[in-house]
């Protein structure tokens, strides 16, 4: 399973905000902008687990081109014979303070 993601406008400011939020005793409630900033691969892992994928799960996080690179990586694995079938996906997640308004 190959999944390309772009996390939109998440940057240093959002990361710093998440640290402040966690340190203000609100660690049990995670606002949506912080939910996927800790482990980008968790998206691919969760989808793979849900689909029952046994094998390679790879997350590509290069930005705008990540979905296309996921297709390219899957083709390399297929052509080399490492895998027989691939599930490939992609998403763009413009979640951040700008998207919340």
Q: What angle do CA 76, 1, 90 make, to 5 degrees?
A: 90
Structure confidence at residue 35 (pLDDT): 57
**12-41 pLDDT tens trace:** 566 677 677 777 776 566 665 555 555 667
- With beta carbons less than 8 A apart as the criterion, state whether 90 and 69 touch: no
**52-75 pLDDT tens trace:** 988 899 988 877 788 999 999 999
Question: What are the b/e assignments for 39-65, b being 16+ CB within 10 Å?
Answer: ebeebbeebbeeeeeeeebbbbeeeee
Residue 65: give the domain boundaries: 2-100
Total-model pTM: 0.63
Task: Identify the CATH number of the domain in which residue 36 sits.
Answer: 3.40.47.10
Q: How many domains does the chain have?
A: 1
pLDDT band at 42 (very low <50, low <70, confident <90, very high): confident
């Amino acid at each position: 399973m190959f999944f390309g993601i772009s996390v939109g406008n998440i940057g240093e400011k959002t990361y710093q905000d998440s640290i402040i939020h966690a340190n203000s005793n609100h660690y049990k409630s995670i606002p949506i902008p912080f939910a996927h900033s800790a482990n980008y691969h968790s998206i691919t892992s969760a989808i793979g687990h849900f689909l029952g994928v046994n094998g390679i799960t790879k997350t590509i996080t290069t930005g705008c081109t990540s979905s296309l690179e996921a297709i390219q990586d899957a083709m390399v694995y297929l052509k080399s014979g490492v895998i027989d079938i691939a599930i490939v996906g992609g998403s763009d997640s413009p979640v951040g303070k700008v998207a919340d308004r």
